[in-house]
Structure formats: structure tokens, C-alpha cells
Structure 1
Amino acid sequence: MDGSNYIKVFTGSFIITQFIVDKLEAVGINAIVKDESESGRLAGFGASIQGQQDLYVNKEEEKASLAIIEAVSSDLEA
């Protein structure tokens, strides 16, 4: 996503990524999920890491997003 106003803030499994997306949407942050393995599968190619998704947010929302991601990560580790 070079040249855009979006920045990657997280890479993880489908389940954790979707949980974070829900938390972000709850506070009005719209995230973009990029799944290379699914894109490759649909195009007939394979991916090296299955099930990993990248999460992008607007650069202006990066700080707030990272705080939410950190809170989710802490909760999952507890």
C-alpha cells in the first residue's frame, strides 16, 4: 500500500485480526485487512504462510489503533 494514507499496524491469524477489527470499528476506526494467502489461492498460487492477515489503518489513526492492538494482545496473553 505504498503511496497511500494507510499503514500496516498488525499481522496475525484470521481470528485475532477479526477480533481487533471489531474493536477498532467499535471506536469508529475503519481498518483494511489484506490476506495474501487468500489472494494467492484465488489466483491459483500458494502462499508461504497460510492464514496470516495484515491489518492497515489510516496513518492519522495509527496511535489509537496501536493502543487497542496492545490492549487486545495483553488480554490474550493473560
Structure 2
Amino acid sequence: MNTSEYSKIYEGNFILINRIKSELENNGIVPIIKDEGESQRLAGYGSLNQGFQEVYVHNDELEKATVILEQIKTEMDASS
């Protein structure tokens, strides 16, 4: 993944990441989920980042993805 083509829009636990991923996909955006903890576990190393993930989107979709992310954050704040 060339980092100049993708931007990180969110980082957090896998439950929130799944919600964001689902909403992005429902709107035609294909996010990339980076899970360092799982990669380390599969390689045989211990990890303090278990369950912590990052969401990246292509820069062409960044503006649309940011709007969707803000809507999700607003919904989460309203329900807390």
C-alpha cells in the first residue's frame, strides 16, 4: 500500500472499525483495515495492540468517507 494514495481516517477497537467499514462499503467505498496486532500474532510475536485497528481509504474517496465518519461519530455521541 502506497501511503501517498491512502489516508488514515480512523483508529480504534475492532467493534467500531466494523461499524465504520460496513457504512463505508454500503456507500461504495472500499476501506483498507490495518491490524498490526493480528499481523504480529500471526508472525509469532506478542502484541499489546490486540483488537486495535486502523481504517484507510483511497484519497479519491477521502472527502466522502470523512462525511460518513462524521455521521457515525455524531450517532455514537447521541447514543452515549
Whether the TM-score (by the shorter chain) exceeds 0.5 is: yes
Q: Percent identity?
A: 41
Unaligned runs of 5+ in 1: none
Distance in 2 (alpha carbons) for counterparts of 1:47 and 1:70: 30
Q: For residues 5-64 of structure 1, what are the alpha-carbon distances to aligned partners after superposition, in whole Å with 9 as ceiling and x for unaligned? A: 111111011111111111111110000101000010011112222211010100011111
Instruction: Give secondary structure in 2 for the equivalent of 1:66.
Output: helix
Q: Against the structure 1 CA distance between its residues 22 and 3, is the aligned structure 2 distance closer, same or farther, given a 3 Å change threshold? A: closer
TM-score (norm 1): 0.89
- What's the CA shift for 1:2? 4.3
- Gaps of at least 5 residues in structure 2 are none
Matched, 1:67 2:63: no
Instruction: Determine if the alignment matches structure 1 residue 18 to structure 2 residue 21.
Output: no
Work out the CA distance in 1 between the residues paired with 2:10 and 2:34. Answer: 11
AA of the residue aligned to 1:25? E
Task: Give the count of matched residue pairs.
Answer: 78
Alignment of 1:33-52 (within 5 A): 33-52=33-52
Cα 1:3–1:12 shift into 2, 3 Å: closer
How many angstroms apart in 2 are the aligned matches of 1:69 and 1:3?
Answer: 20
